[in-house]
Chains A and B, each alone.
Chain A
Amino acid sequence: MKWAAPAALRLGEFSLRFRPLDLGWILLTTLGLFAAVLAAATLGSFPLGWQQVWAGLWQPSGSGEGAMAHQVLWQLRMPRILAAMLVGACLSLAGVILQSLTRNALAAPGLIGVEAGGSVTMLMSLVLFPGLVPVYLLPLTALAGGLVVAVFILMLALRGDFSPLRLILVGIGTTAMLQAVSELLLTYGDIDRVESALMWLGGSLHKVTWTEVQVLALWFLLAGVPAMFAFRQLNLLQLGPAVASSRGLSQRRTLAVLLLASVMLTSSAVATAGTMVFVGLIGPHLARQCCGDRHGILLPLAALSGALLVLIGDTLGRWVFAPLQLPAGLVVAIVGAPYFIFLIARRREFAN
């Protein structure tokens, strides 16, 4: 069909071939995200109408009667909305990278132990040594845990020739071990501290401030944006090591760099919002429903899908049963899982 014919976008030495339909999906998801942002900005326990939100967005500071509304918009809702989108985008991008590197549709940040590594160090900070790490440095503890586990897994997985299967198996083993450590901390930890930790483990964004948003944005710029330009390498890796090598791709270096990017994205998300294992799995698959395995489109579309998922999950979690606050991670899993199962059940290529 004429509308599906590929077109090319050139940016210096980069060129990206895309179909008009791909642009349609990107546009549609962006519009969906925009709508979700508007909904998230107006929904909540504090009554804020469309007009108040719109006016508040353009006012540098609130005064008089509108001061509290301004604070709610700028200090409570906006950081949370942006953090939700960044967390979703980070986890979903990390998921695409891992699924492509391992050529396994089930791969996700939770699978290779990065998420579990971040969780264990965060739990140690929250349950064993509360107050030892200053509050503003807590996210870095998750990052440190995720990085240590990633380096460990990389060292084991890259011994000799890289094997996706070995990466997954090493990851599963490490995850199982770290989950046992987490369980131990939760079972034998101080009951009050464990309650706080459980809230964080559920994937909650209720403590997010602008500082967390800035930190998250920085990590996204450092790892997420460069990862989106690695679509050509991911396309080649998807075809197998022989084809990738024949096209001059240095597998070990590419793998190390992309895995590091995936770890950075996962750790920064876990540090901010706790564990949301499902997003790294479902985000990429939702995007694949629209554009298949073409990474030039898949990567940005997955980032948008992940952002949309977590934003919807967080908005529903803080609004539907308010003032009871449900962690976004739980809502995403409860609402997203049935839809995910429905989509996968409809796909014919999984039949074989």
Chain B
Amino acid sequence: MSWSKTLLLLLVMAFGVVAQAAETRVFKNRFGEVKVPKNPRCVVSLHDFSLTVQLMELGVKPCGSTGRKKLMSEPLFRGVEHRFDVSGIQYVGGHKSPDLEAIAALKPDLILGLSYHRELKPILSAIAPVVILPVQEEGIKKYAGQLADLVGRRGSYQDQLKQYRWMLEEFRRLVPNPDSITVTTLEIYEDNFQLIGRGGIDEAIRDLGLGHPKAYKKARFHVPYSLERVGDFDADFIIDTYEPLLNTRQQTASFRESAQWRQLFAVRHGQFLYFNRSRYGESMGGLLGTASLLFSHIAERDRVSRAEEIRAKAKTN
């Protein structure tokens, strides 16, 4: 091929790439309509644990992402760092107050955020189209589907969904009445605890059809409860999570030594599960990972039931 033909071919290819990137379509969800590029070239994620991780799972490396950073330390993309190669992802500040100029400097063509980023949307829209995804409002499966549509990776998402659905079916095959097994997800702190199941734990528990103790169903989530009330939420399985970055396992060790903790049914019968809070992000991979943990700990091993123990005690008395 002569050099002029080669040059012409390269020019046509380059033009094709530019034209493809410049093509737009309208994306619509509960947060409104946004004109977005069909094939985004540089995506900025405003949340590492919820959006960046799902992008990476779909094979799309964002050009920028918010992360966690302390003064004098390197930034960290929570839930992403240990699973993927994050080189090339520009840190653009914290998820509550991202550096808008650092985002602009990347010249992105798509910015993804969560519902609390709506306040920033008017400013960020001056830089690139901003799509708010319903992570907290509609759950992981729905937001991940929307995200896959946005970045043109529907196929990869369908594969993830298929694998997840298979795991749910398998679980139900092994555990015919999952709602009879009660589960409490919580996070113990030094002076309180909160009912939180991060990284898709709560969504996976819901999808697996597992039950909850009565007090749990009536309780408020994401608010601090006194440690004295932990007994109210005793269940067949108690799941707590620890954060290695914050040394929470060591900080709360004394509480797990207390008589109050040791008397819990789940603790007495070795049905207390202690998971790493940052191992899985709020992504399809997180759902899959959590579901497989629950699968192993609940479906594939012997377990005892708190309800049965209560019934047995009642008979004895």
Chain A residues in the interface with B (C-beta under 8 A)? 44-47, 68, 71-72, 75-77, 130, 135, 187-193, 195-196, 199, 204, 206-207, 209, 318, 321-325, 327
Is B262 located at the chain interface by the 8 A CB criterion?
no
Q: Kindly state the separation between the CA atoms of A192 and B136 in the bound complex, as whole angstroms.
A: 11
Q: Name the distance in Å between A125's Cβ and chain B's nearest Cβ.
A: 12
**Do B223 and A188 touch across chains, with their CB atoms under 8 A apart?**
yes
| In the assembled complex, B300 has its CB within 8 A of some CB on chain A | no
Contact A322 B123 (CB under 8 A): no
A68-B127, A71-B127 as given contacts; A196 in contact with B100, CB under 8 Å: no
A71–B105 Cα distance when bound, in Å, is: 11
Indicate if B178 sits at the interface (CB-CB under 8 A).
no
What are the residues of chain A within 8 A of B101 when measuring CB–CB?
A: 44-46, 72, 76-77, 318, 322
Q: Which of B1-9, B52-60, B91-99, B142-150 contacts A (4 or more CB under 8 A)?
A: B91-99
The B106-136 residues at the A interface (CB cut-off 8 A) are 107, 116, 118-120, 122-123, 126-127, 136
Task: Judge whether B102 is part of the interface by a CB distance below 8 angstroms.
Answer: yes
Closest chain A residue, CB of each to CB of B107 = A68
Pair B123/A209 contact, Cβ less than 8 Å: yes
B104 within 8 A of A: yes
- B104: contacting residue among A71, A188, A189, A199, CB under 8 A: A71
Chain B residues with Cβ below 8 Å from A209 are 122-123
In the complex, A37→B93 CA distance in Å? 24
* A/B interface sample: 11 pairs, CB < 8 A: A46-B102, A46-B105, A75-B123, A130-B116, A135-B118, A192-B222, A204-B97, A206-B97, A321-B71, A324-B69, A324-B99
Interchain CA distance A310-B70 in the complex, whole Å: 24
B52 to chain A, nearest CB (A): 15
Q: Given A71-B127, A188-B224, do A206 and B102 touch, yes or no (CB 8 Å)?
A: no
Write the nearest CB–CB distance from B169 to chain A, whole angstroms.
Answer: 33
Q: Are B223 and A190 neighbours in the complex by a CB distance under 8 Å?
A: yes
**In the complex where A71-B126, A71-B127, A75-B126 touch, is A322 in contact with B100 (Cβ < 8 A)?**
no
B194 proximal to A (CB < 8 A): yes
Distance A47 CA – B104 CA, assembled complex (angstroms): 10
- Residues 69-102 of B, flagged 1 when their CB comes within 8 A of A and 0 if not, give 1010000000000000000000111101111111
Kindly list the 3 A-B residue pairs having the minimum CB-CB distance in the complex, ordered from nearest: A323-B99, A45-B102, A75-B126
Q: Are A196 and B104 closer than 8 Å at their CB atoms?
A: no
- Are B96 and A196 closer than 8 Å at their CB atoms? yes
In-complex Cβ contact of A76 among B91, B104, B136 (8 A): B104
Which of B69, B97, B102 counts the most A-chain CB atoms under 10 A from its CB? B97
Tell me the smallest distance from the CB of A167 to a CB of chain B, in Å.
36
Whether A72 pairs with B222 at a CB distance below 8 angstroms is no
- Taking CB atoms and an 8 Å cut-off, the chain B residues in 1-55 that contact chain A are none
In angstroms, Cα B107 to Cα A207, docked, is: 20
Compute how far the CA of A133 lies from the CA of B71 in the bound complex, rounded to whole angstroms. 34
Complex Cα distance A44/B126, Å?
17
Q: Are B119 and A191 in contact (CB under 8 A)?
A: no
A192→B116 contact, CB < 8 A: yes
- Tell me the nearest residue of chain B to A76, going by C-beta: B100
- Closest Cβ neighbor of B136 among chain A residues: A192
Q: Please name all residues of chain A whose beta carbon is closer than 8 Å to the beta carbon of B91 when the two chains form the complex.
A: 323
Q: A204-B97, A209-B122, A322-B99 are in contact. Are A46 and B92 (CB under 8 A)?
A: no
Chain A's nearest CB lies how many Å from the CB of B193? 12
Contact A72 B104 (CB under 8 A): yes
Q: Are A323 and B223 in contact (CB under 8 A)?
A: no
- Counting chain B CB atoms within 10 Å of each CB, the highest count among A46, A68, A188, A190 belongs to A46
A71 CB contacts on chain B under 8 angstroms:
104, 126-127
Structural contact, A68 and B104, CB atoms closer than 8 A: yes
Bound-state Cα–Cα, A71 to B98, Å? 17
| Contact B93–A325 (Cβ < 8 Å) | yes
Do the beta carbons of B223 and A325 come within 8 Å of each other?
A: no
Which B residues are CB-close (under 8 A) to A135? Answer: 118-119
A76-B126, A135-B118 known; A324-B94 Cβ under 8 A: yes
Chain B residue with minimal CB distance to A75? B126
